[in-house]
Structure 1
Amino acid sequence: MNVLRKILFPFAILYGIITSIRNFLFDIGVLKSTSFNIPVIAVGNLSVGGTGKSPQIEYLIRLLQDDYRVATLSRGYKRESEGYILADANASAKTIGDEPFQYFQKFKKAQVAVDTSRKNGIEQLLSQKIKPQLILLDDAYQHRKVKAGFYILLTSYGDLYADDFMLPTGNLRESRSGAARANVVIVTKCPETLSQKEQNQIQSRLKLTNEQELFFTAIAYDDQVYSGKEQLRVTDIAGKEKLLLAGIAKPQPFFAYLQAANDVTMVYPDHHHFTEKDITDIKNKAENKIIITTEKDYVRLKGSILEEQLYYLPIKSAFLNREGDFMKKIKNYVGESTRNS
């Protein structure tokens, strides 16, 4: 923790009080939450960024899309548009945001919508002639104007909410007590070798209730990188000089998976909007090398002058154990909620 963050500790206490009062008012019904008569699953975190929400949303889409009409609803962070938008052939990373556009391109069965008001977004989705049968709310754990039927809370292995502080001293958006709203807590970005003993120790630190279940996942990197025209095996390009580019929170594991001794790396802020100057700088630095970036960055850079040498590395969320229990829990909730509706 740097000195400035320590100096701002009184503001962290004030921020914690404000968010706790807000949550209390929602809990007792003074501030109103709206429920909907279809399954709604909210995925989010207590901290700011970097917990792996996108891979988890994609996991849920894969799990459910063959049995239900699935819709995702995000706010569309850093998009150049306003209001409710349902993705169609005219959609781009600029109009709906990079992560929703990524979902839209990958999952043709799913509807992808954005709206800063999740309540309005759900109402718009349900006003369609062909309505979704379930909705996945992306990064909506603090969006309490909608009451989801099921909450999945993510916390990163290297930055557990139990060890964190409120903003601006730490990275928490709300008090650790907010974890009590979760049906399931997932510790993400774990080492694949995480032992059962270590898992038990983390469970003890998180202090979950008897009703909550804890799961552990790792980031599974693809063994190939992809462009608009071809795919290359990671092992085949391991020794080739390349430029690695990331505009995501906590990009170190991405670099570690791909980087060789002579590779060049470039780092930009999370959800960075690449300007023409940025793209020219990347082109000049890459020279004739291939450029490998994250899938989220690729959707923002596709179509630029980099396209001929640009590749992306997909990732997935991989459960360390008990994946069947997680799948059963989600499918039971969706199935029961669908029957009740």
Structure 2
Amino acid sequence: MLRLIRYLLIPFSIIYSIITWSRNKLYDLNLLKSKSFDLPIVVIGNLALGGTGKSPMVEHILHIVNPLIKVTVLSRGYGRKTKGFRYVHETDEAINVGDEPLQIKRKFKENTVVVCENRVHAIEKIKNKTDAVLLDDAYQHRKLKPTFSILLFDYYSLNKPIITLPTGNFRDTLLESKRADIIVVTKSPSEINEVTKKNIVNRLKKHSDAPIFFSEITYQTLLTSSKQETDIRFFLEYHAILLTGIANPAPLYEYLVEKVKSITTIKFPDHHVFSEKDLLKIEHLFDNLPSKKIIITTEKDIQRLPQDFVLKLPTYYIPIQQNILFNQSEEFNSLIKKAFLDQ
């Protein structure tokens, strides 16, 4: 029924596509102006709604360039209840700065992280205090002219029709791939049929000359909120609650399902703010599990869970890491370094 309703909205998707195409064309023709800056401005983004792995890519890039240059991370701070420009501190709460910027600040303490919905205004404020700016989720922010753009696609989305909102999940059509300097197909299987890989590359090459990379997500060691490591194999006989507020928790479930005795899933929307009622529901489910039980969540979600909750119940989070596939990591790293250093 829901699928039928979405396809009934196809005329609205056509109208939406015409509007977004017209807006982009006005920027392409310089009839609408983009602001540029005299320092490297590197943008990470996607054409679809969330779930392509932008935050793991931000972290991957910081690992590459942090030894070389002073980089400030700029995000809109999606999900925060505040407005305007703010510096992110390790002691902040996600509700004030957003879960992903807080996660990045806590992992990369040496980097300045700021949030602001007006990216141009934010860069004006920080441009004399940094060597470069890395923007999370700003590919559609045409008021800003980046020096380098990294476009992400979820692997599985490229095996389906690309349909814009409200029928599909895409904010722009594949035509806008032409603005990318690098394209990364994220969340790819480590082994891809050559025919499938070639079909994806050919589909993207119709719209862009950018080099195309494939990356996979790898799950790291389980951590407590105090960052104490625990091997997942220790929990083979445990019953687990998988608690998520992310766009697509299915891959994490598939990773964990054979590593614990049973999994009870509790799914909330992406960037969900956990209410007292939510926490009581989770605690009730936990209490009704058999003995030997834990809660597993994501690194993004642990930023939003209250500290007293994660201390009260045995709660672990599982970091993820982005890996470039098919022996292309050196080429990818080289292009990223040039993006930040050769401006």
- With the shorter chain as reference, the TM-score category is over 0.9
1:162–1:176 CA contact under 8 A, matched in 2: no
1:247 alignment partner in structure 2: 245
2:330 alignment partner in structure 1: 324
Aligned mates of 2:161, 2:323 — CA distance in 1 = 24
Residues 44-97 of structure 1 show CA distances to partners (whole Å, capped at 9, x for unaligned) of: 000011111110011011111111111111111110111000113552211110
1:157 alignment partner in structure 2: 155
Deviating 4+ runs (over 4 angstroms): none
Aligned mates of 2:14, 2:25 — CA distance in 1 = 16
Residues 177-196 of structure 1 show CA distances to partners (whole Å, capped at 9, x for unaligned) of: 01110011110001111244
Aligned mates of 2:62, 2:100 — CA distance in 1 = 14
The alpha carbon displacement at 1:284 in A equals 1.4
SS of the residue corresponding to residue 155 of structure 1 reads strand
Over 3 Å counting, the alpha-carbon distance change for 1:132 and 1:196 in structure 2 is farther
Residues 194-235 of structure 1 show CA distances to partners (whole Å, capped at 9, x for unaligned) of: 244432221012225674100000101013333326221011
Aligned mates of 1:233, 1:32 — CA distance in 2 = 52
Aligned mates of 1:35, 1:115 — CA distance in 2 = 17
1:307 is the counterpart of 2:311:
yes
Letter in 1 for 2:168: G
Letter in 2 for 1:334: F
1:68 alignment partner in structure 2: 69
SS of the residue corresponding to residue 108 of structure 1 reads coil
Q: Which runs of 5+ in 1 are unaligned?
A: none
Aligned mates of 1:148, 1:271 — CA distance in 2 = 26
The alpha carbon displacement at 1:121 in A equals 1.0
1:295 alignment partner in structure 2: 299
Letter in 2 for 1:25: L
Aligned mates of 1:244, 1:234 — CA distance in 2 = 13
TM-score normalised to the size of structure 2?
0.93
1:72–1:137 CA contact under 8 A, matched in 2: yes
2:142 alignment partner in structure 1: 144
1:258 is the counterpart of 2:263:
no
Aligned mates of 1:304, 1:208 — CA distance in 2 = 52
Q: Which deviates the most, 28-37 or 285-294?
A: 285-294
1:276 alignment partner in structure 2: 276
SS of the residue corresponding to residue 304 of structure 1 reads helix
SS of the residue corresponding to residue 49 of structure 1 reads coil
2:35–2:144 CA contact under 8 A, matched in 1: yes
2:246–2:268 CA contact under 8 A, matched in 1: yes
The alpha carbon displacement at 1:273 in A equals 0.6
The alpha carbon displacement at 1:138 in A equals 0.3
1:190 alignment partner in structure 2: 188
Over 3 Å counting, the alpha-carbon distance change for 1:258 and 1:10 in structure 2 is same
Letter in 2 for 1:296: K
Aligned mates of 2:309, 2:162 — CA distance in 1 = 41
Residues 272-329 of structure 1 show CA distances to partners (whole Å, capped at 9, x for unaligned) of: 0100110111111112621110000001114132334111000011111201101001
Aligned mates of 2:36, 2:321 — CA distance in 1 = 30
Aligned mates of 2:126, 2:308 — CA distance in 1 = 32
The alpha carbon displacement at 1:125 in A equals 1.3
Q: Which deviates the most, 284-293 or 112-121?
A: 284-293
Aligned mates of 1:18, 1:26 — CA distance in 2 = 13
Aligned mates of 1:175, 1:56 — CA distance in 2 = 22
SS of the residue corresponding to residue 280 of structure 1 reads helix
Aligned mates of 2:188, 2:45 — CA distance in 1 = 17
Aligned mates of 1:120, 1:264 — CA distance in 2 = 44
Aligned mates of 2:297, 2:208 — CA distance in 1 = 41
Letter in 2 for 1:200: K
Q: Which runs of 5+ in 2 are unaligned?
A: none
SS of the residue corresponding to residue 291 of structure 1 reads strand
Q: Paired residues, what number?
A: 334
Q: Residues 1-341 of structure 1 correspond to what in structure 2 (within 5 A)?
A: 2-88=3-89, 90-127=91-128, 131-160=129-158, 163-208=161-206, 211-228=209-226, 230-259=228-257, 260-287=260-287, 289-308=293-312, 309-321=314-326, 322-337=328-343
TM-score normalised to the size of structure 1?
0.94
